Amino acid sequence: MHFFLFLLLIIVFLTNERAPALMMFFSFLFFIIFFRSSLFKKKIKVFFIGVVFICMFLFVTLNDNLKQRFIKKTLTQFGFLEKSYENEAGRFLDSQWGAHFLTAFEIFKDNPFIGAGLNTFRFTCVEAKYETIKSSNYKSRCSTHPHNIYLQILSELGMGGFIIVISLLIILVNKINNNLNSNYKFLCLSILIFLFWPIQTTGSLFSSWNSYFYTINIILILYLTNVVKLKK
């Protein structure tokens, strides 16, 4: 299983998508750290994690394309490096994704309780008042969704929808904790970390093919917690 997960991690890195790669990396580490096996003792676990870190570091630094994407661009967006060319967005909020985030938050502020309506971000974002967001890329603020599931929920369903979603996640985590043994528990929690970590760019939760990833994985988790019920 560990070799398969490591191979999957490399494949995700090769897609050159930072958010999925980083979330896969941290989810992978979370699972490895808490995985329990008589064949996977503490010293072997520490050695394996060290090998993973070294391999990922070499993998990224020795590939110019990955190095530019994962290291230089990230450091530029956090303000540690100067922009390498004129049209490049410096800080994250000046990128098109940052503009989406700021616009979604402003829409939420205008509609705090019930939001602007499901799948309405694409229509609401064009309003002139959202040109004042603090992003140099404000003209690229519009898209079909704000590229973050929590900001999408807040802007389209308001605090009411946000509380419902968070409550369902808490219920799901409790079911995992109560019904599964340690290894299955941490596997399911790793999946939830990958899908629902708040600080990342994501697809739409309601209107794109990316939503199938959420649906399929939640169905898998519910199957394990309700049917298999592998007790601790």
Write out pLDDT tens, residues 151-190.
999 999 999 999 999 999 999 999 998 888 877 888 888 8
Tell me, yes or no, whether 221 lies in a domain: no
Tell me, yes or no, whether 68 lies in a domain: yes
Q: Which residue has the higher pLDDT, 90 or 130?
A: 130
| Count of structural domains within the chain | 1
Q: Which residue, among 228, 227, 222, has the nearest Cα to 174 in the 3D structure?
A: 222
Range of the domain at 63: 1-88
Tell me, yes or no, whether 56 lies in a domain: yes
Q: For residue 86, what are the CA distances in angstroms to 70, 90, 173, 177?
A: 19, 10, 46, 50
Tell me, yes or no, whether 198 lies in a domain: no
**What b/e string do you get for 4-38 counting C-beta neighbours within 10 Å, with b at 16 or more?**
ebbeebeebbeeeebebbbbbbebbbbbbeebeee
Tell me, yes or no, whether 127 lies in a domain: no
pLDDT tens digits along 97-154: 889 999 999 999 999 999 999 999 999 999 999 999 999 889 989 999 999 999 999 9
* pTM for this model (two decimals): 0.73
Both tokens of residue 68? Answer: 């530019």
Q: Specify the 3-state DSSP secondary structure of 114.
A: coil
Q: Contact, 210 vs 20, CB < 8 A?
A: no
Tell me, yes or no, whether 36 lies in a domain: yes
Tell me, yes or no, whether 25 lies in a domain: yes
pLDDT of residue 86: 43
Which residues does 27 contact at the CB level (< 8 Å), separation at least 6? 190, 191, 193, 194
| Rounded Cα distance, 81 and 185, in Å | 40
Both tokens of residue 2? Answer: 């560990």
Both tokens of residue 187? Answer: 């596997």
Tell me, yes or no, whether 22 lies in a domain: yes
Rg (CA), the chain: 20
